[in-house]
């Protein structure tokens, strides 16, 4: 299946000069969504994860069904101030400023293998911050899976030696 055919290109969003890759048509196409989930499941299995970590918010869309398919726990990584219990936080840089991500301090056991999932790999800052959170609470990174990768932004390079998988790549 040509998954790129179900990604909508939206020019000048959220600002002039940006070509936004919109996944909502993919989400509305059960066959396309199933193909994405099949590919993520196949790839994740190769890394023997013990938990799936999804990055707020679109990582939840792909991470929770992946965790269900693999019979693994799902761990949400949330934006600042959204988790109610003891948490660890990491501040990181975005293209347009600073942000913070949180994870519950007890979300993973010491050494537990986590597979990180999100819809998009762009500059790699959010994924790297998530990896740091997983490691801060004692987990290890089994790998990372993304639906879309914007190769020109070199996010994969920022992620160093972490295993990275993406389904749809744009130059």
pLDDT digits (tens, 9 = 90+) for 95-135: 667 899 999 999 999 999 999 999 999 999 999 999 999 99
Q: What is the pLDDT of residue 152?
A: 96
58 included as an active-site residue: yes
Q: What is the pLDDT of residue 121?
A: 97
Model pTM?
0.96
156 included as an active-site residue: no
Among 41, 56, 58, 135, the one annotated catalytic: 58
Q: What is the pLDDT of residue 164?
A: 98
Q: What is the pLDDT of residue 63?
A: 98
Domain ranges of the chain: 36-170
Q: What is the pLDDT of residue 97?
A: 75
Residue 85 confidence (pLDDT) above 90: yes
Percentage, residues of the chain above pLDDT 70: 99
Q: What is the pLDDT of residue 45?
A: 98
Work out the pLDDT band at 93, boundaries 50, 70, 90.
confident
Classify domain 36-170 by CATH architecture. Answer: 3-Layer(aba) Sandwich (3.40)
Residue 37 burial class via C-beta count within 10 angstroms: exposed 0-12, middle 13-18, buried 19 and up: middle
pLDDT tens digits along 1-41: 999 999 999 999 999 999 999 999 999 999 999 999 999 99
């Amino acid at each position: 299946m040509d998954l790129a055919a179900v990604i909508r290109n939206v020019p000048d969003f959220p600002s002039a000069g940006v070509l936004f890759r919109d996944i909502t048509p993919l989400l509305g196409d059960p066959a396309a969504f199933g193909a994405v989930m099949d590919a993520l499941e196949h790839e994740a299995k190769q890394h023997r994860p013990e938990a799936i970590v999804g990055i707020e918010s679109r990582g939840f869309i792909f991470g929770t069904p992946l965790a269900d398919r693999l019979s693994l726990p799902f761990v949400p990584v949330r934006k600042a101030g959204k988790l109610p219990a003891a948490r660890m936080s990491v501040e990181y840089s975005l293209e347009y400023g600073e942000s913070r991500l949180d994870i519950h301090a007890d979300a993973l056991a010491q050494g537990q293998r986590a597979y990180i999932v999100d819809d998009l790999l762009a500059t790699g800052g959010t994924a790297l911050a998530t990896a740091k959170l997983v490691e801060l609470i004692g987990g290890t990174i089994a790998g990372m899976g993304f639906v879309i990768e914007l190769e020109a932004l070199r996010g994969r390079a920022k992620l160093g030696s972490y295993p990275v998988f993406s389904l749809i790549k744009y130059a």
